[in-house]
Chain A
Amino acid sequence: MASRGINPSRRTFLTSGGALLASQAVSRWAIGSGKNDGFISPGQGGQGKSLVIDCHAHVGICREPGTTQELSAPWETVADPELILRHAREAGIDKTVIFPINNTSYKEANEDIARMCQRYPEKFIGFARHDAQTESGKIRSMLFHEVHDLGLRGLKLHTQPNPEILDAAKELGIPILYDSNEHVELFEEFLPSYPTVNFIIPHLGSDQSANWPGHLMAIDLAKRYPNVHLDTAAVVMTRYLEKAAKELPAEQILFGSDEPEIDCRLEIFKIRLLNLPKEKEELILGGNILRLLGGRV
């Protein structure tokens, strides 16, 4: 973006990396005070802080040559890792969990993720992705290879997991981030049988708050199952972020963005706006996903 002609106080806002620490006192926000032109008084963000990890981003291209899917929707065509890195740097995000965009089967796409993590080992944490409907019977061996040999650390799903997937994840000790396409109730089909697997429901249960009752269902599920976590990616109705932060243990909420389609700079701002105690905010912004990944990233 153009930087010419920016006045000094705005430059301060921008060079602080937009890293905003919500103050405990509303007055520190200095919004509309006229005291500075920056939207929010630059805080002390960035120094001596704990690891900030975005748990939800997509990288890759569509690996379905000759299909209409190749060039139909933005999130099914290409997800640019450089854009994620740029936004994350600006937002003060240290690492990002990445996984493939939509494909029919994921062997190649998961290898792409592994390669990307090798290229940027300090920045990306790779999750595999699989589909029980199209890869049934082959997933176990693929997933073991992807975790043990390719270094992938978790599993992203967009279709209902089968026992093959769930048993493999359980044995490998990896978390599952499952987007059930607004049908949060589907989780109860397997949750009672897998109490030791950590599940992450993205978007607080409803992508872009398209179906806001999904937020309520997800929060309810997290109350009943301690191994259910909610990621905050692309939640538009932020009152449900506030509700989740108020009603759930902080340990069950994970910051995510859904980059590159969604802007992590705005997504992390929504977390800062919650004005949580430092320890809770740090858990949400990275401590929890770090824990789910065995304390090692």
Chain B
Amino acid sequence: MKALVIDSDAQIGVGETWGSPRRPVDYKVEALLARSAEAGIDRSCVMAPRNTLYDSPNKQVAELCEKYPAKLIGFAVHNPQREAGQLRRTLSEEVKVMGLKGVRSDGHPTRELLDAAVELNTPVVYYPDLSEYPGPARAYYMIATAYPSVTFILPHLGAYRSWQWWAHYEAMDLVKRFPNIYVGTSSVVSRKYLEMAARELPPQRILFGSNAPELDPRVEMYSVKLLKLPEQSEALILGDNMRRLLRL
């Protein structure tokens, strides 16, 4: 039986790219679904691209997840600095009423965000701005230590497009030190670090992600397949881990 494949890292809606140089984007759900299907992805965790305010983008994500319930799993996005004081209420509604299953932190997570994540039992996706921090380790030590019950997802194995290659080492070291940190696989260009992660980390802590539609999910899927892992480990990475995390 084919294992369920869940993409931990996809985007839909209007906004700007997360990566630089930024450009305005309008990620269409139909294009995402078509390409994901070609890649063999069964379900996609989708979240909005970068925005100034996230109420409306998150609502749109929720609506699209309602339209395609078998295919999409919605995550909210919030900027904890900009939305200080309002986050808990907003995120509660998004999770309890709109059915979103996780939250991406656009900016360094605050206690307000993480307290809400604990209360709502949602994983937190956080990719630190590597122009602010020398690497992800510096950004993660305090949040992972102070909130051991929060599941953190560090996308791109810590370095989008492997540009800051040392961040891959830091990401792997973070996973080894903190049982509540998981890493996503999308955009890893220097594949030797993905291979290293597959060798050194428990497969339970690696999550397949594609960063679709910014990147091509067929390429990202192939990159994981190229690891040639034992079937069970591959199944964990491709979807079972995410299914467990989201209690699907």
Contact = CB atoms under 8 A, between A and B. Distances in A.
Interface of A: 1-7, 10, 14, 18, 26, 29, 31-32, 34, 37, 39, 73-74, 208-213, 234, 236-239, 261-263, 265-266, 269-270, 273
Given A34-B1, A236-B215, 6 more contacts: A6-B228, A32-B38, A74-B190, A208-B189, A237-B215, A269-B222
B187 interface: yes
Chain A residues touching B, majority SS = loop
Contacts of A10: 231
Interface in B185-212: 187, 189-192
A18 B226 contact: yes
Contacts of A2: 228-230
Nearest to B223: A266
A204 to B, nearest CB: 14
Nearest to B5: A32
B41 A208 contact: no
A213 B21 contact: yes
Contacts of A18: 226
Interface stretch (B92-100, B141-149, B157-165): B157-165
Chain B residues touching A, majority SS = loop
Given A74-B165, A269-B219, A236 B189 contact: yes
Nearest to B194: A263
Contacts of B39: 31-32
B231 A234 contact: no
Contact of B219 (A5, A32, A238, A261): A238
B179 interface: no
Nearest to A208: B161
Contacts of B231: 5-7, 10, 37
Q: Give the interface residue-count category, chain B.
A: 35 or more
Contacts of A74: 165, 190
A1 B222 contact: no
Nearest to A34: B2
Interface in B201-248: 214-216, 218-219, 221-223, 225-231
Contacts of B165: 73-74
Contacts of A1: 227-229
Contacts of A5: 230-231
Residue from A3, A7, A18, A236 whose CB has the most chain B CB atoms within 10 Å: A236
Nearest to A26: B38
A7 B230 CA distance: 9
B42 interface: yes
A32 B215 CA distance: 19
10 contacts: A2-B230, A5-B231, A39-B221, A211-B21, A212-B23, A236-B161, A266-B219, A269-B219, A269-B222, A270-B216
Given A6-B230, A10-B231, A234 B189 contact: yes
B215 A261 contact: no
Given A74-B190, A238-B215, A210 B38 contact: no
Contacts of A3: 228
B212 to A, nearest CB: 11
A111 B230 CA distance: 42
Interface string B162-174: 1101000000000
A269 B229 CA distance: 19
B228 A14 contact: yes
A31 B161 contact: no
Nearest to A38: B225
A263 B191 contact: yes
Contacts of B187: 236
Nearest to A83: B192
Given A32-B40, A273-B216, A273-B219, A39 B225 contact: yes
B37 interface: yes
A39 B191 contact: no
Nearest to B198: A1
A147 B62 CA distance: 62
Contacts of A238: 215-216, 219
B163 A208 contact: yes
Nearest to A39: B225
A4 B228 CA distance: 11
A174 B42 CA distance: 49
Contacts of A263: 191-192, 223, 226
A-B pairs with lowest CB-CB distance, top 7: A32-B40, A263-B191, A1-B228, A31-B40, A238-B216, A39-B225, A34-B2
B198 to A, nearest CB: 9
A18 B223 CA distance: 12
Nearest to B233: A2
Nearest to B190: A261
